[in-house]
Amino acid sequence: MIADLKPYAQYKDSGLPWLGQVPAHWRVVRNGSLFGQRSQTGYAELPILEVSLKTGVQVRSFGGAKRKQVMSDFGKYKRAVKGYLAYNTMRMWQGALGICPVDGLVSPAYVVARPYPDVEPQYFAALFRTGDYMAEIDAASRGIVKDRNRLYWDQFKQMRSPCPPPAEQAAIVRFLDWANGRLERTIRAKRKVIALLIEQKRAVVQRAVTCGIDPTGRFKPSGIPWLGNIPSHWTTARLKHCISRIEQGWSPQCDAQPAGDNEWGVLKVGCVNKDMFRGAQNKRLPATLQPDPSLEVADGDILVSRANTTELLGLAALAESPRKKLLLCDKLFRFRALAACFDSKYLVLLLRSRPCRAQIESSTNGASSSMQNIGQGVLKNLWLAVPPLPEQLQIVQRIAADTQPLTAAIARLEREIEFLREYGTRLIAEVVTGQLDVRDAAARMPDEVSADFAEDPGDEREDSELADEEAEA
DNA sequence: TCCCTATTATGAGGACCCGC
DNA sequence: GCGGGTCCTCATAATAGGGA
């Protein structure tokens, strides 16, 4: 249905440089003729609403540990009636606006506007959040620095907007609800498939590093409870017997910007992440400080983050061809695999596998809820299953071969999601500015179309079906 | 009362520092 | 050298208060 959309038959100049041409039967009007400002106070019993960049207007939740800053005197809060437009004057240039889902109260710093008769507020909310309109809002906002830019009502009411006939506004809202719902369902289905593929990759690695490449071979008890059975020709060893000395780096006060070519930089913990090694995560070492060349990160170094949030704590990565002149920071452990025991790539895969991660995560320290630590002892005393070296190389190759299609599929799906998001943004902009005529499409839509049908349990079933189709593809 | 600027609260992430 | 705690930055979403 979306592919069938066509431009309108006739256009005229809108008189607005950012808008260009609009359908010949649309008007271009000032916002002051669409909305009237409302500043009603003294309704302390109503729920508090918040205006978010991401979610628009919603009832503020006071649950959980999240901070909720609230003025002590609700009497100053403004009443916002269901269906009214509310925007955050300080963030309007970023799209902080929405239509009130229920009667409530908003901060005195917000603007509340009542739509006049024959104005469909959802149409204008979509229009105000398009990139071109937000640029106009930015230009009309005032403040000492960009981050303090505010859009006052006097400026807002002078701004001009395209205005389709009322029935057409409703048709556009109806169409966008339907189109956004389809896009979101498709994206959810793709995200489910990505999660399955990631799980499948983990399973491939875990199977390989615990069972080897011959699952029909003979097994023996490893003697280590969490390790279970291992192939009968494998041995076990603590990590400290298989690696060089563990080193920690240096944390000088660095410049804010990354190091340039031929400058010394300090490699930060962010270099080790879920995507393995990101050598670009560095800060410039001030010229007044003397680098210790022995701390330079070299090809083949195994890096482990010793302090981070739980998800990234203890993650290992292999420094492969890092740029020159990068010093190790003090939140990274560094060691090298002893050539007689482990292939470096195999050891990193092993340390990132679920059983090892579970052992590391169960040994974390740290009082801070967001920052956890592990000591060298945790790593040194980690028990590992050790296959013969030739088999390690075979396992690395097998894992690479088995996970390559999964990695490629994940990358493809992520690209598709990005494309769908861009497509959705472009579609909204083209529809609300009259570049595409959706009247016929809206008239042919099923009756049950609703903006919040994402919550419909029936959708879950459709999501699963879509996800199954994706997975099969 | 409105306009405008300054300041605050909170979580996440992580850089930096210090005691043992 | 090592381990772990503190504090900083950033993003977001406001509130506070002075002056016209």
Residue A194 lies in a domain: no
- Angstrom distances, CA of residue A447 to CA of A79, A177, A178, A282: 33, 12, 10, 55
For residue A137, with 0-12 CB atoms within 10 Å meaning exposed, 13-18 middle and 19 or more buried, which class applies?
Answer: buried
- Rounded to two decimals, the pTM is 0.76
Q: Which residue has the higher pLDDT, A117 or A271?
A: A117
CB A103 within 7 Å, strand B: no
Question: Residues 6 or more apart from A241 whose CB is under 8 A from it?
Answer: A341
> How many C-beta neighbours within 10 Å does residue A232 have?
10
Q: Please check whether residues A329 and A428 belong to one and the same domain.
A: no
A278 and A363 Cβ atoms separated by less than 8 Å: no
Q: Please check whether residues A49 and A168 belong to one and the same domain.
A: yes
> How many C-beta neighbours within 10 Å does residue A102 have?
14
What would the DSSP string read from start to end of A366-408? -SSSS-EE--HHHHHT-EEEE--HHHHHHHHHHHHHHHHHHHH
For residue A318, the cross-strand partners are A302
Mean pLDDT of the A257-283 span = 71
The highest-confidence range among A318-322, A386-390, A413-417, by mean pLDDT, is A386-390
Residue A48 is predicted with a pLDDT of 75
Residue A473 is predicted with a pLDDT of 56
**pLDDT class of A457 with cuts at 50, 70, 90:** very low
Instruction: For A74-132, write each residue's pLDDT tens digit.
Output: 666 778 888 888 888 877 777 788 888 888 878 777 888 889 999 999 999 889 888 88
Q: Which residue has the higher pLDDT, A362 or A410?
A: A410
A342 and A335 Cβ atoms separated by less than 8 Å: no
Instruction: Please determine, for residue A72, whether its predicted confidence score (pLDDT) is greater than 60.
Output: no
Q: Please check whether residues A244 and A317 belong to one and the same domain.
A: yes
Using the structure, give the distance in angstroms from the CA atom of A444 to the C1' atom of C13, rounded to a whole number: 41
Instruction: Please determine, for residue A453, whether its predicted confidence score (pLDDT) is greater than 50.
Output: no
- Nearest protein residue to B17's C1' (by CA)? A251
In window 328-367 of A, residues with CB < 7 A from nucleic chain C are 330-331, 365-367
DSSP state of A116: P
Mean pLDDT of the A345-366 span = 80
Label the pairing between strands A27-30 and A160-163.
Answer: antiparallel
Residue A407 lies in a domain: no
Q: Indicate the residue among A370, A386, A402 that finishes a domain.
A: A386
Residue A355 lies in a domain: yes
Residue A208 is predicted with a pLDDT of 92
Q: Please check whether residues A455 and A308 belong to one and the same domain.
A: no
Q: Which residue has the higher pLDDT, A23 or A466?
A: A23
Residue A451 is predicted with a pLDDT of 40
Mean pLDDT of the A175-196 span = 88
Instruction: For A334-351, write each residue's pLDDT tens digit.
Output: 888 999 999 999 998 998
Q: Please check whether residues A354 and A420 belong to one and the same domain.
A: no
Instruction: Please determine, for residue A172, whether its predicted confidence score (pLDDT) is greater than 90.
Output: yes
Using the structure, give the distance in angstroms from the CA atom of A148 to the C1' atom of C20, rounded to a whole number: 21
Residue A115 lies in a domain: yes
CA-derived radius of gyration, chain A: 29
In window 367-396 of A, residues with CB < 7 A from nucleic chain B are 368-371
CB A126 within 7 Å, strand C: no
Using the structure, give the distance in angstroms from the CA atom of A75 to the C1' atom of C12, rounded to a whole number: 24
Q: Please check whether residues A222 and A110 belong to one and the same domain.
A: no
Residue A149 is predicted with a pLDDT of 67
For residue A335, the cross-strand partners are A302
- Nearest protein residue to C15's C1' (by CA)? A71
**pLDDT class of A249 with cuts at 50, 70, 90:** confident
Report CA torsion sign: A154, A159, A165, A171.
negative
Residue A108 is predicted with a pLDDT of 75
Q: Please check whether residues A342 and A461 belong to one and the same domain.
A: no
What residues make up the domain containing A274? 213-386
Instruction: Please determine, for residue A51, whether its predicted confidence score (pLDDT) is greater than 60.
Output: yes
In 3D space, the residue among A113, A118, A134, A104 whose CA is nearest the CA of residue A18 turns out to be: A134
Mean pLDDT of the A304-327 span = 76
Q: Please check whether residues A220 and A154 belong to one and the same domain.
A: no
Q: Flag the least confident range among A69-83, A87-101, A229-243, A256-270.
A: A69-83
**pLDDT class of A65 with cuts at 50, 70, 90:** very low
Residue A292 is predicted with a pLDDT of 77
Question: What is chain A's mean pLDDT, rounded?
Answer: 80
For residue A231, the cross-strand partners are A219
Q: Please check whether residues A147 and A225 belong to one and the same domain.
A: no
Mean pLDDT of the A202-212 span = 90
Instruction: Please determine, for residue A465, whether its predicted confidence score (pLDDT) is greater than 60.
Output: no
Helix (H) or strand (E) holding A316: strand A316-318
DSSP state of A293: G
Q: Please check whether residues A227 and A367 belong to one and the same domain.
A: yes
Using the structure, give the distance in angstroms from the CA atom of A135 to the C1' atom of B11, rounded to a whole number: 30
Specify the amino acid at residue A192: K
Q: Which residue has the higher pLDDT, A269 or A280?
A: A269
- Angstrom distances, CA of residue A103 to CA of A7, A45, A59, A100: 38, 11, 9, 7
Residue A64 is predicted with a pLDDT of 38
For residue A290, with 0-12 CB atoms within 10 Å meaning exposed, 13-18 middle and 19 or more buried, which class applies?
Answer: exposed
Label the pairing between strands A229-231 and A316-318.
Answer: unpaired
- Nearest protein residue to B4's C1' (by CA)? A143
CB A203 within 7 Å, strand C: no
In 3D space, the residue among A175, A180, A95, A123 whose CA is nearest the CA of residue A424 turns out to be: A180
Residue A208 lies in a domain: no
Q: Which residue has the higher pLDDT, A464 or A271?
A: A271
A316 and A348 Cβ atoms separated by less than 8 Å: yes
* CATH (domain of A80): 3.90.220.20
- Find the distance separating the first CA and the last CA of chain A, reported in whole Å: 23
User: For residues A351-368, b (16+ Cβ closer than 10 Å) or e, as one string?
Assistant: bbbebbbebbeebbeeee
Residue A340 lies in a domain: yes
Question: Residues 6 or more apart from A426 whose CB is under 8 A from it?
Answer: none
* Cα–Cα distance, A238 to A156 (Å, whole number): 67
Q: Please check whether residues A339 and A440 belong to one and the same domain.
A: no
Question: Domain total for chain A?
Answer: 2
A82 and A103 Cβ atoms separated by less than 8 Å: yes
Q: Please check whether residues A179 and A217 belong to one and the same domain.
A: no
Residue A46 lies in a domain: yes
Residue A77 lies in a domain: yes
